[in-house]
Chain A
Amino acid sequence: MLLHALAGGLVYGCYFALLGLGLNLVFGVMRIVNLAHGDLIMLGAMAAYFLYHLAGLSPLWAAPLVAGGFFLLALPLYAALLPRLLAAREAEMLSFTLFFGLQQIIEALAAIAFGPSERSLPARSLAAGPIVLLGQSVPKSWAFSALVAVIAIGLFYLSLHHTRLGLFTRAVMASPEEAAASGIDLSRISAIAFGLGVALAGLAGVFAPFMLGSVTPAMGASLNLVAFATVVVGSLGAPLGTIFGGLVYGVGLLLMQTYFSTWADLLPDLLLIAILLFRPSGLLGRRLRVA
Chain B
Amino acid sequence: MRRLLPDLGLAAFLLAALTAAEFLYRNELLVFNFTIFFILAQGLNAIYGFTGYLPFGYVGFFGAGAYGFALAVMHLGSAPLPALGLAGAAGLALGLLLTPLLRLSGAYFAIANLAAAQAVYQVIANPALEPLTRGPYGVSLASVFAPRASFLAALALLALLLGVVIWLRRGEMGLALKAIRDDPLSAAMAGIPVVRLRVLAWLVSALAAALAGGIYAWHISVFYPETVFDLSFSVFAIVFTLFGGAATLSGPILGAALLYGLYNLIGITVPQYFQLIYGALIVALMLFLPRGLLSLLTDRGHDVP
Contacts of B111 in A (CB 8 A): 33, 225, 228, 272, 276
- Encode contact with B along A147-165: 1 for CB under 8 Å, 0 otherwise: 0000000000000000000
- Encode contact with A along B8-46: 1 for CB under 8 Å, 0 otherwise: 000000000000000000000000000000000000000
Q: Which residue of B has the minimal Cβ distance to A222?
A: B118
Q: Which residue of A has the minimal Cβ distance to B113?
A: A273
Nearest-CB distance from B196 to chain A (Å)?
15
Complexed CA–CA distance, A107 and B287 (Å): 20
Q: Which of B264-281 contact A (CB under 8 A)?
A: 272-273, 275-276, 278-281
Q: Which residue of B has the minimal Cβ distance to A262?
A: B128
* B residues contacting the other copy or chain, number (CB 8 A): 44
List the one stretch of A46-54, A64-72, A95-103, A125-133 in contact with chain B: A95-103
B122–A269 touching, CB < 8 Å: yes
Tell whether A184 is near chain B: CB-to-CB under 8 Å.
no
Interchain CB contact (< 8 A) of B104 among A102, A104, A263, A289: A289
Contacts of B103 in A (CB 8 A): 277, 280, 290-291
Complexed CA–CA distance, A221 and B232 (Å): 12
Contact A277:B286 (CB < 8 A) given known A108-B276, A108-B279, A262-B128: no
Contacts of B279 in A (CB 8 A): 101-108
With a 10 A CB-CB cut-off, give which of A105, A228, A290 has the most chain B CB atoms: A105
Nearest-CB distance from B285 to chain A (Å)?
8
Contact A269:B118 (CB < 8 A) given known A98-B282, A101-B280, A276-B104: yes
Tell whether A81 is near chain B: CB-to-CB under 8 Å.
yes
Interchain CB contact (< 8 A) of A104 among B108, B112, B282, B286: B282
Tell whether A2 is near chain B: CB-to-CB under 8 Å.
no
- Do most interface residues of chain B lie in helix, strand or loop, or is the interface mixed? helix
Tell whether B290 is near chain A: CB-to-CB under 8 Å.
yes
A33–B107 touching, CB < 8 Å: yes
Tell whether A88 is near chain B: CB-to-CB under 8 Å.
yes
A100–B272 touching, CB < 8 Å: no
Contacts of B105 in A (CB 8 A): 289-291
Tell whether B123 is near chain A: CB-to-CB under 8 Å.
yes
Q: Which of B173-221 contact A (CB under 8 A)?
A: 184
Interchain CB contact (< 8 A) of A98 among B118, B122, B123, B283: B283
Q: Which residue of B has the minimal Cβ distance to A270?
A: B119
Q: Which residue of B has the minimal Cβ distance to A268?
A: B115
Tell whether B102 is near chain A: CB-to-CB under 8 Å.
yes
Contacts of B184 in A (CB 8 A): 291
- Encode contact with B along A254-291: 1 for CB under 8 Å, 0 otherwise: 00000000110110111011001100100000000111
Complexed CA–CA distance, A262 and B238 (Å): 32
Q: Nearest 9 pairs between A and B by C-beta?
A: A101-B282, A104-B279, A105-B279, A108-B276, A291-B105, A98-B286, A108-B275, A269-B119, A269-B115
Interface set of B (CB-CB < 8 Å, partner A): 52, 54, 100-112, 114-116, 118-119, 122-123, 126-128, 184, 231, 235, 238, 242, 272-273, 275-276, 278-283, 285-287, 290
